[in-house]
Structure 1
Amino acid sequence: MATFTLDDIRAAADARYGSTDIEIDPETTVVLRNPLRLSKEERTELAALQDKLDGDDQGDVLADAIRLVAKSKPAAEKLITQLDGDLALLAQVFESYSKGTQAGEA
């Protein structure tokens, strides 16, 4: 029988369901939390935002999704400001986030 410590379980969860981190500059890294690390309400809101991605306001929806999943709201705002409304960049951030979390989703 195998015995695990709670620290072992936490380390395994962090490795499998970790965040997607985007470095803006040497002082700022935006941590985008894995959907399994969001609250139930946040997961529901994220799903609703993803359903809106086919609409006309894709840039706004992607920015809202980044704000929602970011661990730090000020860091999220800094990232969104740096992206300057560029839909291709917003989409790339969200795609990187989505690919990074696929293995961890149930």
Structure 2
Amino acid sequence: MASTGLDAIREAAEARYGNLDIDMGDGSTVTLLNALRLPEARRDRLASLQDSLSDGDIAVADQIGALREMVGLVAATKGQGRRLLEAIGEDVPALLTVLEQYGQGSELGEA
């Protein structure tokens, strides 16, 4: 059997389950944590929001609210989530694009 080191395992995990870093254009970065790296309560709430959005019986305003809450849940800090949401403002396509890019590297079911 092959052998490896813990550092190599951590590097492989980071490559596969890394965070999404968003350059804010002012020299700062907002980090969205991979869902698998979230504390259990935040991960459960994220899954609940995803389920509510897939139901299809949710009002548009509630959908946007859920999407905004999702950004807040996955941001590395509340301050980062707030900054990103303030920068996005009412630009729903930008909000959707952030979450689509986030979703490409963060799948709850892969644990």
TM-score range, shorter chain: 0.7 to 0.9
What residue number does 1:52 align with?
A: 52
Cα distance, 1:66 vs structure 2: 0.6
Query: How many percent identity over aligned positions?
Result: 43
User: What do you get for the CA RMSD once the two structures are aligned?
Assistant: 1.7
What residue number does 1:29 align with?
A: 29
Question: What 5-or-longer segments of structure 2 have no aligned partner?
Answer: none
Question: What 5-or-longer segments of structure 1 have no aligned partner?
Answer: none
Cα distance, 1:48 vs structure 2: 0.8
Runs of 4+ off more than 6 Å: none
* Count of residues in correspondence between the two structures: 105
What one-letter code is carried by the residue in structure 1 that aligns with 2:33? R
What one-letter code is carried by the residue in structure 2 that aligns with 1:12? A
- Does structure 1 conserve the Cα–Cα contact (< 8 Å) formed by 2:34 and 2:74? yes
What residue number does 1:94 align with?
A: 99
Cα distance, 1:105 vs structure 2: 2.6
For residue 84 of structure 2, the aligned residue among 79, 93, 106 is: 79
Change in Cα spacing, 1:23 to 1:71, as seen in structure 2 (3 Å) is same
Q: Does 2:51 align with 1:63? A: no
- Normalised by the length of structure 2, the TM-score is 0.83
> Helix, strand or coil for the counterpart of 1:85?
coil
Cα distance, 1:99 vs structure 2: 1.4
Cα distance, 1:72 vs structure 2: 2.1
Deviations 1:3-54, CA, capped at 9 Å, x for gaps:
2111111111101110111111243211111111112222111011112224
